[in-house]
Amino acid sequence: MTERLHRLRVRARVLADVRRFFEATGSLEVETPAIVACPGVDAHLDGVPVELRPGGRGSDPIRRALVTSPELHMKRLLCEGVGSIHQIGKAWRDGEVGDLHEPEFTMLEWYRVDADADELMDDTERLVRELAAEHAGAVLRFRGREAPTAGPFRRVTFAEAFDEHAGIDPFEDDERRMGRMLRAAGVRPPRTATRDEMLDLLLGAVVAPKLGVGVPVFVTDWPKGRASLARVVPGPDGDRAARFELFACGVELCNGYWELTDPDEHRARFAAENAAREAAGAAPSPADDELLAALDAAGGLPPCSGNALGLDRLLMLLLDAESIREVRTFPCPVR
Partner 1 sequence: MAMLSHVDLRKGVKVEIDGQPWVIIDADFVKPGKGSAFTRVRIRNFLTGNTIERTFKASDKVSPADVEQKSCQYLYNEGEDFHFMDNETYDQIMIPKENLGDSWKWMAENMETQVLFWKGRALSCDLPKAVVLQITQCDPGERGNTAQGASKPATVSTGATVNVPLFINEGDWIKIDTSSGKYSERVNK
Residues forming the site for partner 1 (CB under 8 A) = 42-45, 95-101, 186-190, 192-193, 196-197, 199-201, 203-205, 208, 226, 228, 245, 252, 255, 334-335
Give the distance between the most distant pair of CA atoms in the chain. 61
CB of 228 to partner 1, least distance (A): 6
Of residues 14 and 203, the one with the C-beta less far from partner 1: 203
Report the residue number, 58 or 186, with the smaller CB distance to partner 1. Answer: 186
Using alpha carbons only, how large is the chain's radius of gyration in Å? 20
Of 42 and 288, which CB lies nearer to partner 1 in the complex structure?
42
Phi, psi (rounded to 5 degrees) for 222 = -80, 165
Shortest distance, CB of residue 123 to partner 1, whole angstroms? Answer: 19
Min separation Cβ 48 and partner 1, Å: 14
225/263 with CB nearer partner 1: 225
Least Cβ distance, residue 61 to partner 1 (angstroms):
25
Angle at CA of residue 255, ends 315 and 326, nearest 5°: 20
Residue 196: CB minimum distance to partner 1, A:
7
Cβ closest to partner 1, residue 99 vs residue 134:
99
